[in-house]
Structures are given as C-alpha cells and as structure tokens.
Chain A
Amino acid sequence: MRKMAILLIAVVALMVIGCQPPEGMTGGVSQEAFDELKTQVETMQTDLDNVHASLDQLIEDYNELKAKVDKGSAPVPKPPAPSKPPRKGAK
C-alpha cells in the first residue's frame, strides 16, 4: 500500500514536472514573440481607436455638410413672375 502511495506521488510529481514549459517559454510561445505579439495587438488597438475617431469625424462632417445642402436646397420663396401691369389713367 505504501508502495502504491509513493508510486502515485512519483507519477504526480513527474506529471507536474513534465507539464512545465521549457525555460523562457510561456504557454508554448517564447516571451519575445509574446511581447512582440502584445505590442502588435496594442498597435492594432491604437489603430482601431484612430479608425473609430476618424469615422466619428467623418460622420460628423457628413452630417454637417448634409445640413448645409439641405438648407441650401430648401424651397426659397420666388419673386412674383412679371405680369401685365395695372391699367392706369392719364395724369
């Protein structure tokens, strides 16, 4: 029984040791690659934020322009069309 317990501990110990990543590795990826990937992700996040900002600005400009166009094309009261003058008597 005692042997069984030692064997079990040994197996567990081996499993723990065997599951440890190699030195300098995190989850199967090197630290450098991980840092680089992290930097790229951060850059992409920044780019995405910039794209969002640009899109917001574009939408704002579009709405502003549309408002101007709508105002400009709004029906303007026309001057009365020239017509037959009133008939008036001699002075």
Chain B
Amino acid sequence: MKRLFALTIVSLFLLVLVGCDGEVTLTAPENVTIAAGTNGLDVVLDWDEVTDEIDGYIVYFETAAIGTVTTAGYTDASPTETGDYYITAYLGEDESDPSTTVTTTPVNTPAVPIYELEADGNAGYGWNLAGEMKGSTYSMTDASNDVLVDFYVTNFIDDPVGGPWPLNYNIASPTEGPNDPGGIVPTGSWRTTWFTDPITDPQAPLPLYSSTTYFNFTEIDVDPIYMGFYLDSEGYFGLVTFSGANAGAGSIQVETWIQPVAGLRLIAH
C-alpha cells in the first residue's frame, strides 16, 4: 500500500512537470509612447525594454503584425492609414500579452452648427486638448473663452443688427477677432491657429507646415469644403469641413477631425 502511494505521488509530480513543459510567461511591454517623426508623416513608437529573456518584440497595427525588432523602439514609415498600435514581446514561439494601445486615429466631432461672428449663436470653436479632444462651440464675445477657442467664423463685414450675414464666411484664427470689422470680440490672449487652402483629398496627409501653406484665415467659398489646420501652441494638425452655409440665419455646419499625435499630419479617417 505504501509502495502504491509513493508511486502515485511520483507519477503526479512527473505529470505536473510534463504538463508545464514549454509554457513560458513573458511580460508585456510597458510605457508605450507614440510620436510623430520630424517629417510629420512617420509614426515613432517606443516602450520600456522587457527584462525577461526574450528574442524581441512584435509591433501590431490594427491586429496585423507590421514588424519585429530586437530592442525597444519602432518607426512606422509614412503610413497611409491611421489606427491602433500595440506591442508584444516574444521568445521562440511564445508571445506576451499585448501592451496598452496607442492610436493615430483622428478624433472626430460630428457636425454642429456654428455662426457668423455677429449672428445669433456661437462663432467660436475649440477642442478639449486636455481631455478627449472633442470640439465644442464658444462665444467670441466673452474674453474668458480666449484659452478655449481655436477658430471662429466670420465674413469680415460689419453686418447690420439683425442680419442678414452675407457670404462668404471665413475660418479665422482667434487672434484676428479683436480686429475683426464685426467689432464685438474683446481683446484677450486669443489662441493662434493656422489654416491651409481648401483641400481636395481629405484622406491625404496635410501639407507640411510653412508660411506658404498655412494662413491666418481661409475663405469658405465652396460647399462642402475641407481645410487643414495647425494649432500653433501644441502642434496638433487636424481637418475641418464646412457645409450648408445659410446667410439668413448666419449659420454653417462644421465637422472636425483632430490628430491626437502632435506633429503628425496624417488625418485619414
């Protein structure tokens, strides 16, 4: 009986050993960061080295492996699509859990009405950069909104009281507000934003930031219209589209996309 018991114990121990053979738990990469390359098109990923014995890392884009590296760090050269990236560590056939996800997907704010500067509604618009990066409209007559507004809509005309508010409208940097002929924007520390000329392909990368490609305002002269923007303080690029201008109401619909990776000109969505 004693002999049978000992045999059973040894057998179970051997089973445990055999069952565990080949199973290695790898630590997932941590502290993944994402940034734009100096050309504004490359996506630069970085993370902390895993201290376990590993062969390297696998980089994924939208669940598809796009590259392997033996040390931390990877550059996705000029991707044409935006999306989610994550990393795993691997050793032989073993692979760690995925890291946290980082993304280049632009944050979309669906269309909302915005108004010409002197019309009866908010003419200012800004993104919550410290939060989810969603856009909201703001009044341009309140100087305390100067830290919130990233652009406003104006026809650069001193309109009669009660309208109409003639077309064409313009998207303009808030810094132009106090000097706008509308004459209702108080002085303040209004933010600076720059705008491209109208864009024909809203999925293509935005132009390189320069004094010949970005301006203090752009006229909204077709319907619909797309134009890129660049937030001067934070370096975020994004895309704005306007449609349905209504001179009688002084309104126009605006929809936006903002790239959450500062300096990245890719707004494909």
Contact = CB atoms under 8 A, between A and B. Distances in A.
B31 interface: no
Contacts of A83: 156, 181
Nearest to A87: B215
Interface of A: 81-85, 87-91
Contacts, number: 40
Contact of A82 (B158, B210, B216): B158
Given A90-B194, A90-B215, A90-B230, A85 B210 contact: no
Interface string B180-203: 110100000000001000000000
Interface residues of B, number: 20
B217 A89 contact: no
**Which label, helix, strand, loop or mixed, suits the secondary structure of the B interface?**
loop
23 contacts: A81-B181, A82-B158, A82-B179, A82-B183, A83-B156, A84-B170, A84-B181, A85-B176, A85-B179, A85-B180, A87-B215, A88-B216, A89-B210, A89-B211, A89-B212, A89-B215, A90-B209, A90-B210, A90-B213, A90-B214, A90-B215, A90-B216, A91-B211
Nearest to B182: A82
**Which label, helix, strand, loop or mixed, suits the secondary structure of the A interface?**
loop
Contacts of B230: 90
